[in-house]
Amino acid sequence: MAQMTYADAIRRALIEEMERDERVILLGEDIGLYGGAFRVTQGLVRRFGPERVINTPISENSFVGVAVGAALVGMRPVVEIMFMDFIALAMDQLVNHAAKLHYIYGGQARVPLVVRAPAGAGRGYGASHSQSLEAWFVHTPGLKVVAPSTPRDAHGLLKAAIRDDNPAIFMENKLLYGAKGEVPNPDEVLPLGRAAVVREGGDVTLVAYSRMTALALDAAARLDEQGIQCEVLDLRTLAPLDEEAILASVGKTTRAVIVEEDTRRGGVGAEVAAVIAEGAFGKLDSPLRRVACADSPIPCSPTLEQAILPSVEKIVEAVESLI
């Protein structure tokens, strides 16, 4: 099985899809010779040329709009936003156009667009370069939202997103880029909208996604030493959300802790909690718990940054409060 980093797995998926389909093009700031802010597209312009790996001006609203137009006329653009925070500049194109054109034109228009967005804190980048804004897009009908936690999932889910005829926001946590894992099958395309049980247990369900899945697994290992068996459910896709998998796991364990890096108020965790409350309330043996970022801008100070972010310790404490 091939071992590669999360960043390499994304690059591999881009190469494979660009070789498979000449309609796949890349757009973004410094994605050419520089290789992108996190070097994910390194070497691709030499391989495919500047007509398919397109450096853009610093104007997210403009080049996301170009990508929406390209998708409408048959291309399959993949846009890189340098930091997820900057996606706010393209909200009109994504929320009012890409997400709605298929509906507005009665299915005659399709927008096969992927927007890659490096998200998350932990590097001391501060309030405007560290956010996880996935809840904005989960709230928007017509957009798919993907948040892989491993190289294998990043590879297989990106291929699926590129082949999908609907616009997708593809979240890449910055601290995962160097994480290594197996990508056993270069042809594997993972289905969107399917969660995965990555650890089985019977006492409590830890629902997580993106980098928080690794923290949930670490917390589960620590709790195992106390005799507490945690099941870890990796959502992988936030829209569509695999409600069936959530309810099945919580119905089995009767307890749930939801872990997300986004801010707590109005986050994905709140939606998951509502799904559980509506679909499995009678099976719960304890209240739901959420572990999330504090409702605060992300500080630059490493000490303050770590204080407001989810951690293994906070997950363990939340589980202990239920058992």
Catalytic residue ranges:
60, 129
What's the CA gap between 23 and 17, in Å, rounded?
Answer: 9
Residues 6+ apart with CB under 8 A from 24: 14, 17, 18, 52, 75, 76, 77, 78, 162
Q: Report how far Cα 22 is from the mean position of its chain's Cα atoms.
A: 26
Instruction: Judge whether 275 and 245 are in contact, CB under 8 Å.
Output: no
Q: How far is CA 304 from the centre of its chain?
A: 24
Q: Strand (E) positions, the chain? A: 2-5, 24-28, 53-55, 76-80, 114-119, 144-146, 168-173, 180-183, 196-199, 204-208, 230-234, 237-239, 256-263, 289-293
How far apart, in whole angstroms, are the C-alpha atoms of residue 15 and residue 25? Answer: 10
Our CA angle for 31, 138, 102, nearest 5°, is 80
Q: How far is CA 197 from CA 34, 194, 201, 233, in A?
A: 38, 10, 10, 5
Residues 6+ apart with CB under 8 A from 140: 94, 95, 99
Residue listed under structure tokens 């009678």: 282
